[in-house]
Amino acid sequence: MIETCACHRIRMAARAVTRAYDEALRPIGLRATQASVLAAVAAEGAMSITALARFIGMDRSTLTRNLAPLEKEGLLSLGSEGWRRSRTLAITAKGRSRLEKAMPLWEEAQRSLKREIGARQWDEVQQSLDHLIRGSAPPRSHASEA
């Protein structure tokens, strides 16, 4: 089972890719997930934690744990609770500066991965991942079908 399980193999690949991006971003003190969060908030502007979680495809509670070090370091500001207990996130000037430093490192990690996969297969991998992401609704449990 372990050699052919798609879930296991995709998770192994995801961990390997994450390690490579984490290593590339290490000189500026960011992890791949943190760079993604900063990039998403910078691209979308101020947004709620729930909206950000939806935007980057991350569980809200996992995202909240990942926000703490970014807020502590002053890269993101987290507003007070508002309507529906929603809290608004915004990237700070320090966060934008760190993201600018991250971009060349991220781009090199991206180029390195593309070289490793091969330019011809790169587009196929991207399309396959997009297909998996779009079709990845969690299976319904048998209990909920009753």
Each of the 146 residues of the chain gets a pLDDT tens digit; together they read 888 899 999 999 999 999 999 999 999 999 999 999 999 999 988 888 888 999 998 998 889 898 999 999 999 998 765 555 567 899 999 999 999 999 999 999 999 999 999 988 999 999 988 888 888 655 544 444 44
For the chain, the straight-line distance linking the first and the last C-alpha, in angstroms and rounded, comes to: 30
DSSP run (H or E) holding 132:
helix 119-134
The confidence score (pLDDT) of residue 144 equals 43
The confidence score (pLDDT) of residue 143 equals 47
DSSP run (H or E) holding 69:
helix 60-72
* C-alpha span between 20 and 123 (Å, rounded): 20
* C-alpha span between 22 and 82 (Å, rounded): 34
Report residue 126 as tokens: 């991207």
**Longest pairwise C-alpha distance within the chain:** 52
Contact present, 90 and 77 (Cβ < 8 Å): yes
Backbone angles phi, psi at 59, to 5 degrees: -60, 140
* C-alpha span between 100 and 135 (Å, rounded): 33
Domains of the chain as residue ranges with CATH: 6-133 (1.10.10.10)
Residue whose tokens read 């971003």: 25
